[in-house]
Structure 1
Amino acid sequence: MADNFVIQVRDAGIRFRLNRRSRRNFKDLFAGRKRRARSDEFWALRHVNFDVTAGEAIGVVGRNGQGKSTLLKLVAEVMLADEGDVQVIQGVAPLIEITGGFVEDLSVRDNVYLTAGLHGMTKREISDRFDEIISFAEIERFIDTPYKHLSSGMKVRIAFAVISRLEEPIILVDEVLAVGDKAFREKCYRRIEDLLEGGRTLFFVSHNERDLRRFCSRGLYLDKGELVLDGPIGDVLARYNADYGS
């Protein structure tokens, strides 16, 4: 990998198998024959190529089900490519499905220590940032409340507060703030801008054109699992809108 690249994707693809039951006709039913399972392959991504340099802010666009979240999971190394190669040489802070991994029966306090620890923070580092995390999430009254009793919006708040305090150079954001209220969403967006000013690299999946233009200078347009266009975010959004309407 070239020294200035933090991510390099070469002809990457990932596939899933869809197991389906073949239909039985009346003769099969009468004879007591079982349906036979058949497996179909579905390529969520295929022949994807791009490079990312440190400090870039990239918006990933496309309709639902076109491979955007799968691409982020490849970069996060949550999934592995079935073909091609994905190299990531810096750590990743994944703001994707961020409430996953939290334990419902543990308190908010214990979940902060558990989740931050799983992402590599030491107990001392978590303790030093604990008050900052709780204050950002605006849930001071609930730190010893079982996580399962929080509203969906409060769960997103604490999860974002924890993950956004990680020191990882690459940030992956996948529509995670849709649940939050407008004021808190703006607070999170300002936090993302602060991280970008500090030189972080951003992958941002969103259907909100205004947000994409706010954060991103470059865009990746995915359609049917393939990379249709890689270019300036304005050009990518124009192509996407021309294909599917604004």
Structure 2
Amino acid sequence: MSLDKMIEIENVSMRFRLSDDRIMSLKEFVTQKLSGKFTYSDFWALKNVGFHVEHGEVLGIIGRNGSGKSTLLKVISGILKPTEGTVHCAGNIVPMLELGSGFDFELTGRENIFLNGAILGYSEEFLNSKYEEILEFSELGQFIDVPIRNYSSGMLMRLAFSVATMVNPQILIVDEILAVGDEAFQKKSYTRMMEMMSGGTTVLLVSHSLDQIREMCNRVVWLDGGQIKMIGSAVEVCNQYRL
């Protein structure tokens, strides 16, 4: 992989095995399994996907529901191992894929800042130096010491976004998270994302907002049925996608 490439995806395919039988209970599952009557069919969520992302590039990923976008992000993040193909990343990745992933809902917001930061590979000393900045950006105030099981989805999103974007990731993977929360926080999140992009962070962005994709992305990958239908400039791909 060249020095300019932060992510290189080569012929990636992802297969899921789906049961052909409608199993209604654990007992039925075990009975079917032991009797050898359990049958599967293969579903390919991704098929021969390949592209690269340059250092500091903002790459948009678009496609209708079920096209493989979220599966692709999980493969790049290392959450899923591809059935075929390889993924190479030349930097630390912060994935913002599912709201609250990496959080412990029994712990407070404060405790989760340090837990989530540790999962992302940052030292306690570093997180202490960033704590006040994270708290201020999240706007959680006194709720930072409340167990996050009591948080609304908007509060949880603010905490997740604040931790992920204050730790200066080399690669940031974002799946629709900018669409969550009130309008004021969306604007603040957008500004923060633009700062990171101008500072050299490589970003993969999934969004159903073509206006957002056009404005924020250099290039776009259009997925359809788990395969790349088109890859090119944001304007060119978005225009074709709308047709």
Q: Give TM-score, length-normalised by structure 1.
A: 0.90
What is the rounded CA distance, in whole Å, between the counterparts of 1:199 and 1:116 in structure 2? 21
Displacement after TM superposition at 1:106 (Å): 0.8
**Bigger Rg over Cα:** 1
What is the rounded CA distance, in whole Å, between the counterparts of 1:165 and 1:152 in structure 2? 20
Contact 1:221/1:230 (<8 A) preserved: yes
SS state at 1:44 partner = strand
Which amino acid counterpart does residue 121 of structure 1 have in structure 2?
A: Y
What is the rounded CA distance, in whole Å, between the counterparts of 2:216 and 2:147 in structure 1? 35
Displacement after TM superposition at 1:68 (Å): 0.6
Question: Over residues 32-61 of structure 1, what are the superposed CA-to-partner deviations in whole Å (9 max), with x where a residue is unaligned?
Answer: xx9943101100001111111101111100
Residue 107 of structure 2 is matched in structure 1 by 106
Contact 1:108/1:142 (<8 A) preserved: yes
How many pairs align?
232
What is the rounded CA distance, in whole Å, between the counterparts of 1:179 and 1:192 in structure 2? 14
Which amino acid counterpart does residue 5 of structure 1 have in structure 2?
A: K
Question: Over residues 106-151 of structure 1, what are the superposed CA-to-partner deviations in whole Å (9 max), with x where a residue is unaligned?
Answer: 1111111111111111111111111110110101111211111111
Gaps of 5+ in 2: 24-34
What is the rounded CA distance, in whole Å, between the counterparts of 1:168 and 1:179 in structure 2? 21
Residue 31 of structure 1 is matched in structure 2 by none
Residue 221 of structure 2 is matched in structure 1 by 220
What is the rounded CA distance, in whole Å, between the counterparts of 1:136 and 1:181 in structure 2? 14
Displacement after TM superposition at 1:18 (Å): 0.5
SS state at 1:21 partner = coil
Contact 1:10/1:86 (<8 A) preserved: yes
> Is 1:196 paired with 2:192?
no
> Is 1:91 paired with 2:89?
no
1:151-162 to 2 correspondences below 5 Å: 151-162=152-163
What is the rounded CA distance, in whole Å, between the counterparts of 1:98 and 1:88 in structure 2? 23
Gaps of 5+ in 1: 24-33
Residue 239 of structure 2 is matched in structure 1 by 238
SS state at 2:64 partner = coil
RMSD value over aligned CA atoms?
1.6
What is the rounded CA distance, in whole Å, between the counterparts of 1:130 and 1:21 in structure 2? 50
1:15-164 to 2 correspondences below 5 Å: 15-21=15-21, 36-164=37-165
Aligned residues with identical type, % of pairs: 36
What is the rounded CA distance, in whole Å, between the counterparts of 2:16 and 2:217 in structure 1? 30
Displacement after TM superposition at 1:22 (Å): 6.8
C-alpha change, 1:228 and 1:124, in structure 2 (3 Å) is same
Question: Over residues 189-238 of structure 1, what are the superposed CA-to-partner deviations in whole Å (9 max), with x where a residue is unaligned?
Answer: 11000000101111100000111112102000000000111100111111
> Is 1:7 paired with 2:7?
yes
Q: Which runs of 4+ in 1 moved over 4 A?
A: none
Q: More deviation in 14-23 or 233-242?
A: 14-23
SS state at 2:237 partner = helix
Residue 32 of structure 2 is matched in structure 1 by none
Displacement after TM superposition at 1:3 (Å): 2.4
Which amino acid counterpart does residue 167 of structure 1 have in structure 2?
A: N
SS state at 2:166 partner = coil
What is the rounded CA distance, in whole Å, between the counterparts of 1:182 and 1:37 in structure 2? 49
Contact 2:134/2:166 (<8 A) preserved: yes
Q: Give TM-score, length-normalised by structure 2.
A: 0.91
Residue 211 of structure 1 is matched in structure 2 by 212
Displacement after TM superposition at 1:98 (Å): 3.9
Contact 1:108/1:147 (<8 A) preserved: yes
Contact 2:102/2:119 (<8 A) preserved: no
